[in-house]
Amino acid sequence: MSLDQFRLDGKVALITGGNRGIGLAIAKLFLEAGAKCMLTGRSETVELTELLAGNPDTSSWIAADVTEPDTGEKLVAATLEKFGSLDVLVNNAGVAANGNFHEFDDEKLAYIMETNLIAPFRIARAAIRPMLEKGAGAIVNIGSISGMVSNKPQLQVAYNSSKAAVHQMTTTMAFEYAGRGIRVNALAPGYVVSDMTKGGIAREDWNRTWTENTPMGRFAQPEEMATCALFLASDAASYVTGATLVADGGYTTH
Residue 195 is predicted with a pLDDT of: 87
Residue 112's closest CA among 159, 181, 43?
Answer: 159
Indicate if the pLDDT at residue 1 is higher than 90. no
Mean confidence (pLDDT) of the chain: 97
Q: Where are the domains of the chain?
A: 2-241
Q: What is the pLDDT of residue 112?
A: 97
Which positions are annotated as active-site residues?
A: 159
**Residue-wise pLDDT tens digits, 210-235:** 999 999 999 999 999 999 999 999 99
CA angle, 189 as apex, 186 and 191 as ends, to 5°? 165
| pLDDT per residue as tens digits for the range 35-75 | 999 999 999 999 999 999 999 999 999 999 999 999 999 99
CATH of 2-241, one of 3.40.50.1820, 3.40.50.720, 3.40.50.12780, 3.30.420.40: 3.40.50.720
Nearest residue to 98 via CA among 63, 150, 139: 150
Give the pLDDT mean for 195-207: 92
The pLDDT > 70 percentage for the chain reads 100
CA distance 43 to 183: 30
**Of 54, 57, 46, 68, which is closest to residue 12 (Cα–Cα)?**
57
Distances from the Cα of 175 to the Cαs of 209, 236, 241, in angstroms?
A: 37, 20, 8
DSSP letters along 110-151, please? HHHHIIIIIHHHHHHHHHHHHHHHHT-EEEEEE--GGGTS--
